[in-house]
């Protein structure tokens, strides 16, 4: 808005300058003066003036064209008007346009400063974010390292537990195998002992049967009777 006001004020100043400018300088050029001199020459010859006299007058007129108004230095009147217009425009500009321009420039400066400040803040924020990111990256690396350590520890613990379980199972299998072997050995010894006892007792029975004659049988019966009688 401020920029637009400044542009309007500048345009008004330019239009005013051109509006108050003098038209004389444009019509008083050498070219147009020579043309006028040529026209006058032609008219004078056509009017019956001698050519020499007409040419002499034309030379004078042409010299006057050469001495025509200086395009660089305006006429004093024009200069006064231009000065007055300039002063008026300067006053108008100082009164209306300059504050607007100053205000617009100040606003622009403020905006640029704010933008710079915002950019600085953004930069600081970005740097902070970058720092945070780097910190989080560091944390992530540390967390990753911690997770890896934990994973390695867990794997080691699992391997140890599995090894312990396998060792225990192997020990159980060995113990069971030893127990089975011991049981089989004991059973074999027991069976062997039973067979030996059976054979020994069978042999003893055979011996007893052959040696138990009537006298021995009678003696056994007598002993039995005596034992029963004496037991009470």
Partner 1 sequence: MLEDQASAYAEALFAVTRAEGDHERVEDELFRFARALEGSPELREGLGDPEIPTVKRQQIVEDLLGSSAASTTVGIVSLLVATDRMSDFSQIIDAFVNRVARHSGAKVANVRSAVELSADQRERLTAALEQQVGHKVALKVIVDPTVLGGVVTEIGDTVIDGSVRRRLNQLREVF
Segment interacting with partner 1, rule: CB under 8 A, options 1-9, 15-23, 123-131, 221-229: 221-229
The binder of partner 1 chosen from 1, 19, 95, 227 (CB under 8 A): 227
Longest Cα–Cα distance of the chain, Å, equals 218
Q: Minimum distance from CB of 187 to partner 1 (Å)? A: 16
Taking the least distance from each CB to partner 1, the nearer of 1 and 215 is: 215
Taking the least distance from each CB to partner 1, the nearer of 79 and 212 is: 212
What does the alpha-carbon distance between residue 79 and residue 70 come to, in Å, rounded to a whole number?
A: 13
Backbone CA torsion sign across 48, 51, 52, 56 = positive
Q: Are 2 and 107 contacting, i.e. CB atoms less than 8 angstroms apart?
A: yes
Contacts of 17 (CB under 8 A, 6+ apart): 85, 86, 89
Segment interacting with partner 1, rule: CB under 8 A, options 40-48, 59-67, 141-149, 220-228: 220-228
Q: Minimum distance from CB of 182 to partner 1 (Å)? A: 21
105 contacts partner 1 (rule: CB under 8 A): no
Residues 155-214 interacting with partner 1 (rule: CB under 8 A): 193, 196-198, 200-201, 204-205, 208-209, 212, 214
Q: Minimum distance from CB of 183 to partner 1 (Å)? A: 20
Where do contacts with partner 1 occur on this chain (CB under 8 A)? 193, 196-198, 200-201, 204-205, 208-209, 212, 214, 216-218, 220-229, 231-232
């Amino acid at each position: 808005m401020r920029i637009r006001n400044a542009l309007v004020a500048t345009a008004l100043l330019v239009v005013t300058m051109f509006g108050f400018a003098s038209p004389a300088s444009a019509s008083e050029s050498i070219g147009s003066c020579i043309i006028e001199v040529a026209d006058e020459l032609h008219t004078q010859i056509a009017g019956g003036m001698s050519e020499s006299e007409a040419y002499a007058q034309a030379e004078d007129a042409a010299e006057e064209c050469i001495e025509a108004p200086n395009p660089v230095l305006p006429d004093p009147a024009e200069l006064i008007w231009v000065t007055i217009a300039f002063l008026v425009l300067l006053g108008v500009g100082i009164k209306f346009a300059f504050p607007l321009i100053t205000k617009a420039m100040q606003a622009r400066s403020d905006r640029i400063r704010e933008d710079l400040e915002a950019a600085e803040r953004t930069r600081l924020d970005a740097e902070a974010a970058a720092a945070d990111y780097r910190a989080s990256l560091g944390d992530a690396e540390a967390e990753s390292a911690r997770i890896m350590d934990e994973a390695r520890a867990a794997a080691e613990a699992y391997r140890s537990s599995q090894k312990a379980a396998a060792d225990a199972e192997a020990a159980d299998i060995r113990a069971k195998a030893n127990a089975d072997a011991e049981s089989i050995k004991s059973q074999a010894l027991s069976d062997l002992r039973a067979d030996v006892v059976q054979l020994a007792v069978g042999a003893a029975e055979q011996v007893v049967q052959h040696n138990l004659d009537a006298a021995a049988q009678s003696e056994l019966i007598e002993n039995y009777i005596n034992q029963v009688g004496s037991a009470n």
